[in-house]
Amino acid sequence: MIHQYKDSVKKVDNEEKMSGMAIFTGDIKMDDAYFAIPVRSSISYGKLLKINVPNLPKDYSFISAKDIPGENVCNIIASDWPVFADKEVHYKGETIGIIVGPNKEKCLELAALVECEHKEFEPVFEMVNSYVHKEFKKGNPDKVFANAKKTFSESFSTGYQEQIYLEPQAMLMYLDGEKITIKASMQCPFYIKKAVVRVLNCSEDKVRVIQPAVGGAFGGKEHYPSLMAAQLAIAIVKIKKPLKMIFDRKEDITFTTKRHPSKTEITAYLDEKDNILGVKIHVGIDGGAYVGCSMVVLSRALIACNNTYTFENVHVIGDAYCTNKVPSAAFRGFGSPQSIFAMELFINHLADFLHVKPLDLRNKYLVKTGDITPTNGIYRDPIILKELMDKAMEMSDYKRKLAEYSKPGSNRGIGMSTFLHGCGFTGSGESTIINAQLKIKKDKNDIVTFYTSQVDFGQGNRTTLKRIVVDTLGIPEDHVIYDAPDTDITLSTGPTAASRTIIIVGGLAAKAARHLKEIWKDGEEQEIVEPYVGPDFIKWDEDTMQGDAYPGYAWGVNVVEVSFDPLTYEVNIEGCWSTYDVGHAIDERILMGQADGGLAQALGWAYLEKEEAENGMFKQKTLSDYVIPTMVDLPKMETALIDNPFPYGAFGAKGAGELTFAGGAPAFAIALEQAIKHKVHKIPATPEYIMEILENED
């Protein structure tokens, strides 16, 4: 269908991207840059006794932990991931050092000659050793559960997922006088800056990060570039040559961070009338060798684990497990899709167990405005989930299809999921950790310039944030300048993550623009630095996981229809219909791009994208083996937005980036269950897994 978007403006970066003129990191010409090639651990766990470096020709160096002037810590959220493995190695592929030099081929050759002497330890690949444990309760679960008449328990698991941003990780670093200047494919310029400052123990003004065009990120460029930057920074202070580290796809898939695999166990406690008294949920995620950001991913997974349902008594337990594998980190959804997948399937299975219709059971426990969240906060905004469901059912002809596909001999299925996403950083993180500050200024010609540290890696925020300021000020578009972040000019408005860009930074931009308008004096230079102030109702205790976890929630419904081939166990997606409440969509076309894109990634995670670790190493290392959906694997997608303006966001907008990922996998799995007439407990639901289900249960 060809769309006429009434409320959309031309994307500011359309022309440069379509014409090939946009300059991505790898496109930046710097002929004198040295190449940096990682030397990686060949073992999963052990003591690093000695590094044997071959004789290096002139102009070639080996940079390792011994060269670090500051702390050997990659500044992620936890401080446990070393920049270079030093006394021990904790996963296969961990960086021991880098070879830098002018000729790439020679660097590769030399890197292959570096040998390590180890004392090997027994590695752990399974989720058994917890390094982050969290637990919280709502109501009085201990007492209530003890009096339950029956229980129903199930366990669900989800696999790794690689981001497959089309542009692999890339970084260029050079010295501008004394200043280390970094251009990279990234999400968070200030994360990179902090990581360099920490590893070099230098002052903040010695590091500058500038964002070129970024070819996709999805969480995969939230933390990993900090590691690359820290490694290159150690080299650059030593050899004083420009450096570049650009990963080939294989290196990117094999060694960069992925979505956490998960295992979720849920037990429902029921009374004699089959009312759900409460649920006990354990979410386990595989964090890999270092914590990195896993505790925050775990938090999100736990907070979201009741999904769109309200249960009176809840006991939530979570563990992030240490395994000797590549650390897992951010990917769209940040833990919540894993626990939402489990809850959506669980509620459906529980309905079967209780011999009631899944839709009836869901409706009975569906979240309503004023309900208490699992962390004892309050769902404050008007909740329009029922409307979203009705609309999605109407668009997809859900009820007719559901009945028809239940008939024996049908190889089709239709599934519906409901889901939510908490926007912004968890809890009071926006006020206590990030403390965004947005600068807006006006010159004598009344040209307004504003700055954020938000990266546009395709989401369209360069367009939308600019539009928020233009519309607030009510001045022509070409009177507002808004460029990509440069840490020497921009104040930090925080990372481009957590669906916070529009709801938080957009809100901040609108507020700054409003304040500028209030004091506006034609022909005068004016400047405002607007600090973020969170809504005062947000109270959050990170230690006890109690309070309001997010300033606002966005909601959605996905319906997925599938067909199944009993000869080959292959599944085809026949249709997708979605409805969303993202508050008010500022730019409908951009929003639709988020809707389709998030769902496509979720469907890939649900049935195609298999990443297995074998002996601590990923088995699928290339784009031909780690397969993401092509144009023919996905059907036509239809999406409707229902307006429900959010009082605290710019122009009523909430976050939308991660929401659209949350429901694809459960809707797919529920549809698949109907098509194959068997229960699913794991994704990716590959044909091999489906065969196993059918063979085992027949």
Partner 1 sequence: MINHFVPKNLKEALTILNKHDCYIMNGGTDLMVQKHVSTGLLPKFDKDVLYINNLKELDYIKKDEEGIHIGASTRYVEIENSPLIPNIYKRVIKEIASPNIRNMATISGNIANASPAGDTLVPLVLNDAEVVLTSANGERKMKVDEFVYGVRKIHREKNELISEIVLKPQELSYFYRKVGSRKAESITKVSFLGGVKIENKVIKDFRVSFGSVAIKTVRNREIENKYIGRNINELDINEVINDYAPLVTPITDQRSNKEYRHKVAMNLLKKFVMDIKEGGINE
Partner 2 sequence: MKISFILNKKNVEVDVSPSMRLLDVVRDVLGLTGTKEGCGEGECGACTVLVNDEPYNSCLTPIINVANKEVMTIEGFRETKSYRIIADAFASQGGSQCGFCTPGMILATYAVLKKNPHPSEEEARLALSGNLCRCTGYQAIVDAVMLAAKKGIEL
Note the residues at the interface with partner 1 (CB under 8 A). Answer: 26, 104-105, 108, 246, 248, 566-570, 572, 608, 612, 619-621, 624-625, 627, 629-633, 687-688, 691, 695
Beta-sheet pairing, 437-442 with 61-64? unpaired
Output the CA torsion 11→16→19→21 (10° steps).
-170
Out of 123, 261, 318, 460, which residue is the one contacting partner 2 (CB under 8 A)? 460
Stretch that binds partner 2, among 26-34, 286-294, 370-378, 686-694 (CB under 8 A): 26-34
Rounded to 5°, the CA angle 337-339-342 comes to: 105
Q: Which is nearer to partner 2, 248 or 524 (CB)?
A: 248
Residue that has been written with the tokens 């970094």 in this structure: 182
Nearer to partner 2, 246 or 513 (CB): 246
Only segment of 367-375, 484-492, 517-525, 588-596 that touches partner 2 (CB under 8 A): 588-596
Segment interacting with partner 2 (CB under 8 A) among 215-223, 413-421, 434-442, 648-656? 215-223
Report cis status (omega within 30 of 0) of the bond before 535: no
Whole-angstrom distance, CA of residue 289 vs CA of residue 227: 15
CB closer to partner 2 out of 628 and 680: 628
Q: What are phi and psi of 57, to 5 degrees?
A: -65, 165
- 365: nearest Cα among 346, 391, 338: 346
Q: Report in angstroms how near the CB of residue 638 gets to partner 2 at its nearest.
A: 9
Pairwise CA distance, residues 175 & 512, whole Å: 34
Q: Which is nearer to partner 1, 205 or 570 (CB)?
A: 570
552-565 and 412-423 strand pairing: antiparallel
Taking the C-alpha atoms of residue 5 and residue 3, their distance in angstroms, rounded to an integer, is 6
**Taking CB under 8 A as the rule, does residue 484 contact partner 2?**
no
Contacting residue, 333, 583, 597, 655, with partner 2 by CB under 8 A: 597
The residues in 605-634 that bind partner 2, with binding defined as CB under 8 A, are 622-624, 628-632, 634
Burial 122-155 (b: 16+ CB within 10 A, else e): ebbbebeeebbebebbbbebeebbeebeeebebe
Q: Which two tokens mark 565?
A: 């081939």
Exactly one of 37, 207, 637, 659 binds partner 2 (CB under 8 A); that residue is 637
43 binds, among partner 2, partner 1, none (CB under 5 to 8 A by kind): none
Side chain identity at residue 115, one-letter code? E
308 contacts 371 by C-beta, under 8 angstroms: no
Q: Does 215 bind partner 2 (CB under 8 A)?
A: yes
Partners of 590 in the beta sheet? none
Of the residues 340, 354, 367, 600, which one makes contact with partner 2 according to CB under 8 A: 600
**Cβ distance 32 to 242 under 8 Å?**
yes
The yes or no reply on residue 570 touching partner 2 (CB under 8 A) is: no
Question: Is residue 43 at the binding interface for partner 2, with CB under 8 A as the rule?
Answer: no
Residue 35 or 165: the one with the smaller Cβ distance to partner 2 is 165
What x-and-dash track marks residues 147-176 binding partner 2 by CB under 8 A? Answer: ----------------xxxxxx--------
User: What's the closest the beta carbon of residue 625 comes to partner 1, in angstroms?
Assistant: 5
**Contact partner at residue 146 from partner 1, partner 2, none, CB < 5 to 8 Å by partner kind:** none
Q: CA 475, CA 542: separation in Å to the nearest integer? A: 42
497 contacts: CB under 8 Å, gap ≥ 6: 187, 188, 219, 222, 330, 334
Q: Smallest distance, Å, CB 472 to partner 2?
A: 24
Unique residue bearing structure tokens 């978007």: 5
**Contact partner, 378, from partner 1, partner 2, none, Cβ < 5-8 Å per class:** none
Residue 120 found at the interface with partner 2 (CB under 8 A):
no
Q: Provide, rounded to whole angstroms, the least separation between the CB of residue 541 and partner 2.
A: 37
CA distance 460 to 444: 29
Minimum distance, C-beta of residue 377 to partner 1, in the bound complex (Å): 42
Q: Work out which of 530, 596, 611, 673 binds partner 2, going by CB under 8 A.
A: 596
Candidate list 218, 532, 577, 580; residue touching partner 2; CB under 8 A: 218
Distance CA 687, CA 261 (A): 19
Out of partner 1, partner 2, none, what residue 215 binds, judged by CB under 5 to 8 A for its kind, is partner 2
248 is a site residue for partner 2 (CB under 8 A): yes
Q: Compose the 406-445 pattern: x for residues touching partner 2 by CB under 8 A, - for all others.
A: ----------------------------------------
The interface partner of residue 27, options being partner 2, partner 1, none and the CB cut-off 5 to 8 Å by kind, is partner 2
Nearer to partner 1, 70 or 629 (CB): 629
Residue given tokens 């008010």 in the structure block: 584
Considering only 3, 240, 273, 521, the residue that binds partner 2 (CB under 8 A) is: 3
Peptide bond into 684 cis (omega under 30): yes
Q: How far apart are CA 279 and CA 315, in angstroms?
A: 6
Q: Which segment (248-256, 411-419, 445-453, 521-529) binds partner 2 by CB under 8 A?
A: 248-256
Element (H, E) at 63: strand 61-64
Q: What, of partner 1, partner 2, none, does residue 190 touch, CB below 5 to 8 Å by kind?
A: none
Tokens of 439: 């600068």
Q: Which residue, 104 or 206, has its beta carbon nearer to partner 2?
A: 104
List all residues 6 or more positions away from 564 whose beta carbon is below 8 Å from its beta carbon.
411, 412, 413, 570, 571, 572, 672, 675, 676, 690
Shortest spacing between CB 166 and partner 2, in angstroms: 4
619 binds, among partner 1, partner 2, none (CB under 5 to 8 A by kind): partner 1
DSSP structure string for 470-520: HHHHT--GGGEE----BTTTPPP---S-TT-IIIIIIHHHHHHHHHHHHH-
Residue 590: which of partner 1, partner 2, none does it interact with, CB under 5 to 8 A by kind?
partner 2
The entry of partner 2, partner 1, none near residue 431 (CB within 5 to 8 angstroms by kind) is: none
Closest listed residue to residue 696, CA positions, set 680, 672, 684: 680
Cβ–Cβ contacts within 10 Å for residue 225, how many? 29
Pick between residue 252 and residue 430 the one whose CB is nearest to partner 1: 252
Instruction: Choose among partner 1, partner 2, none what residue 525 binds, the Cβ cut-off being 5 to 8 Å by kind.
Output: none
Q: Cβ 569 to partner 1, closest distance in Å? A: 7
**What residue type is 63 in one-letter code?**
I
The listed partner (partner 2, partner 1, none) that binds 569, CB under 5 to 8 Å by sort, is partner 1
Count of residues interacting with partner 2 (CB under 8 A):
63
Q: Answer yes or no: are the C-beta atoms of 103 and 83 closer than 8 Å.
A: no
Write a three-state SS string for 273-306: CCCEEEEEEEEEEEEECCCCCHHHHHHHHHHCCC
Which residues fall within 8 angstroms of residue 3, CB to CB, at 6 or more apart? 589, 592
Is 14 a binding residue for partner 2 by CB under 8 A? The answer is yes
Q: Which two tokens stand for residue 527?
A: 């400047």
The CB-of-682 to partner 2 minimum distance in angstroms stands at 24
Q: What is the DSSP letter of 456?
A: -
Residues interacting with partner 2, by CB under 8 A? 1-3, 5, 8, 10-11, 13-24, 26-27, 29, 163-168, 213-218, 248-250, 457-460, 589-590, 592-593, 595-601, 622-624, 628-632, 634, 636-637
